[in-house]
């Protein structure tokens, strides 16, 4: 579907066909509850359609606070977050399950955020974006999306995040045929860097979902991943950072830094001092 209006119409048409051909569809969903102790924490964010503690809800990790002995929210402290299952693979190119993503979503960040009240797309690491079409051949069009990256954003190791990291990520996933992202990378015709903070992505199809597919990527730091020849065997959370003691190669853009993982016990994250939302951008 080229836009949300036509996508909604197609969904309604499909539902009408299903209602006629198969009036009952049995769905299996595992029940899940998010429990917060109100005497210990405040600031968790609920959003329509999103779990307050779900990996796709970015607002709770940003906003939650510990409550001090006087009953007031405070800065700092230790927050314990339950994982229903053991994380299996913290490689951002190939996370294995929801529990991997619950960890990675706090280490990485997105170009576009979702307003928790209205569910509208709002600027985040991309201060704006344009969606247009281009002519692939006579009578055939594809989507073209231009992202304008916010200046002043840094990777957790202090390296500047630029449009080149976005291009590198997509090129790396496409060139290495990473299975998780084949549906996206097969649709990409070419990528142009217009300047240090602007990237233009040309698709060989028309779809309103391409914006969200790009936004769902965990962007790979070029200065770390350019030397990774085998993404399948790469375990960045286990390899030490090449220049910063106490860091690993699991370098992200999110509010937390990966510090340690002891299977069966815990995953430990710490505040990212380079997180772009902590200080005004340039």
Query: In this predicted model, what pLDDT tens digit does every residue of 165-175 receive, in sequence order?
Result: 999 999 999 99
Which residues partner with 128 through β-bridges?
Answer: 148
The confidence band for 282, taking pLDDT boundaries of 50, 70 and 90, is very low
Q: What is the pLDDT of residue 35?
A: 84
Domains in the chain: boundaries: 121-225
Maximum pairwise Cα distance, the chain: 69
Q: What is the pLDDT of residue 280?
A: 41
* Residue given tokens 């049995």 in the structure block: 26
Listed range (6-15, 22-31, 240-249) with the worst mean pLDDT: 22-31
Query: In this predicted model, what pLDDT tens digit does every residue of 78-91 receive, in sequence order?
Result: 888 888 889 999 99
Q: What is the mean pLDDT of the chain?
A: 92
List the beta strands (DSSP E) in 52-171. Answer: 65-67, 73-74, 112-114, 121-123, 126-137, 140-149
The span from the CA of 31 to the CA of 21, in Å, is 29
- What token pair was written down for 109? 């960040």
Q: Are 188 and 200 in contact (CB under 8 A)?
A: no
- Residue range 33-54: average pLDDT? 83
Whose CA is closest to 62, among 274, 234, 278?
Answer: 278
Q: What is the pLDDT of residue 239?
A: 97
- What token pair was written down for 22? 């198969």
The span from the CA of 197 to the CA of 226, in Å, is 19
Query: In this predicted model, what pLDDT tens digit does every residue of 104-154 receive, in sequence order?
Result: 999 999 999 999 999 999 999 999 999 999 999 998 999 999 999 999 999
Q: What is the pLDDT of residue 279?
A: 54
The span from the CA of 228 to the CA of 66, in Å, is 39
Query: In this predicted model, what pLDDT tens digit does every residue of 197-250 receive, in sequence order?
Result: 999 999 999 999 999 999 999 999 999 999 999 999 999 999 999 999 999 999
Percent of residues, the chain, with pLDDT higher than 90 = 68
CATH number for the segment(s) 121-225: 3.90.76.10
Q: Kindly write down the DSSP assignment for every residue of 17-77, as one continuous string.
A: HHHHH-S--------------TTTEE----BTTB-TTSTT--HHHHH-EEE-TTS-EESS-
* Residue given tokens 């576009």 in the structure block: 112
């Amino acid at each position: 579907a080229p836009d949300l209006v036509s996508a909604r119409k197609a969904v309604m048409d499909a539902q009408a066909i299903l209602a006629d051909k198969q009036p009952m569809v049995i769905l299996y969903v595992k029940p899940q509850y998010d429990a917060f102790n109100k005497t210990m924490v405040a600031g968790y964010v609920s959003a329509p359609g999103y779990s307050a503690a779900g990996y796709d809800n970015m607002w709770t990790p940003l906003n939650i606070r510990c409550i001090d002995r006087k009953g007031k929210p405070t800065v700092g402290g230790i927050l314990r977050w339950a994982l229903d299952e053991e994380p299996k693979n913290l490689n951002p190119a190939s996370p294995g399950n929801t529990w991997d993503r619950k960890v990675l979503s706090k280490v990485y960040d997105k170009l576009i955020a979702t307003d928790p009240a209205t569910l509208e797309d709002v600027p985040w690491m991309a201060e704006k974006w344009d969606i247009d079409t281009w002519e692939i051949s006579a009578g055939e069009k594809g989507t073209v999306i231009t992202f304008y990256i916010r200046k002043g954003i840094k990777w957790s190791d202090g390296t500047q995040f630029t449009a080149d990291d976005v291009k590198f990520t997509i090129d790396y996933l496409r060139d290495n045929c990473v299975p998780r992202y084949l549906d996206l990378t097969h649709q990409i015709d070419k990528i142009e860097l217009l300047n240090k903070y602007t990237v233009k992505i040309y698709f060989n199809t028309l779809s309103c979902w391409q914006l969200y597919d790009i936004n769902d990527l965990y962007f790979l730091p070029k200065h770390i991943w350019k030397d990774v020849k085998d993404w399948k065997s790469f375990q960045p959370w286990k390899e030490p950072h090449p220049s910063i003691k106490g860091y690993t190669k699991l370098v992200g853009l999110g509010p937390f830094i990966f510090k340690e993982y002891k299977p069966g016990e815990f995953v430990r994250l710490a505040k990212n001092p380079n997180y772009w939302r902590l200080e005004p951008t340039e």
